[in-house]
Amino acid sequence: MFKKFLCVLLLVIVSCKSSVIPLKESANNAIKELGPNPYFEVDGKGVSQKTFTSLNEADITSLSIIYGKEATDLFDEKGKDGVIIVQTKAYARKKFQVLFKTLSQEYSEVITNYEDDEIQYILNKRVLEENFEGSLAMIDENLLKSIKIIDSTKLSRKYGVSGKKVGVVIKSKRPKDLYDSKEKF
Residue 92 lies in a domain: no
For residues 21 and 66, membership in a common domain is answered with: yes
- What lies within 8 Å, CB to CB, of 79 at 6+ separation is 39, 66, 71, 72, 73
- Mean pLDDT in consecutive groups of 10 residues from the start of the chain, 185 residues: 51 35 51 87 94 91 89 93 93 96 96 96 94 92 96 96 97 77 60
How do residues 141-164 score in pLDDT, each as one tens digit?
Answer: 999 999 999 999 999 999 999 999
Q: Which of 46, 53, 52 is nearest to 78 (CA)?
A: 46
Q: State pTM to two decimals.
A: 0.75
pLDDT of residue 15: 36
For residues 49 and 12, membership in a common domain is answered with: yes
User: What SS3 string covers 24-91?
Assistant: HHHHHHHHHCCCCCCEEEECCEEECHHHHHCCCHHHEEEEEEECCHHHHHHHHHHHCCCEEEEEEHHH
Last residue of a domain, one of 87, 119, 146: 87
For residues 145 and 77, membership in a common domain is answered with: no
For residues 77 and 139, membership in a common domain is answered with: no
For residues 129 and 66, membership in a common domain is answered with: no
CA geometry: angle 140, 176, 84, nearest 5 deg: 80
How do residues 54-67 score in pLDDT, each as one tens digit?
Answer: 999 999 998 888 88
Residue 98 lies in a domain: no
**Structural domain boundaries enclosing 166:** 104-184
For residues 22 and 56, membership in a common domain is answered with: yes
Residues 63, 104: Cα–Cα separation, whole Å: 29
pLDDT of residue 33: 78
Residues 39, 18: Cα–Cα separation, whole Å: 31
Asked if 55 and 8 count as a contact pair (C-beta separation under 8 A), the reply is no
Q: Read off the DSSP letter of residue 177.
A: T
Identify residue 24 by its one-letter amino acid code.
K
pLDDT of residue 176: 76
Residue 117 lies in a domain: yes
Residues 42, 181: Cα–Cα separation, whole Å: 24
Domain count for the chain, please give it.
2
For residues 6 and 81, membership in a common domain is answered with: yes
Residue 165 lies in a domain: yes
For residues 26 and 83, membership in a common domain is answered with: yes
Residue 114 lies in a domain: yes
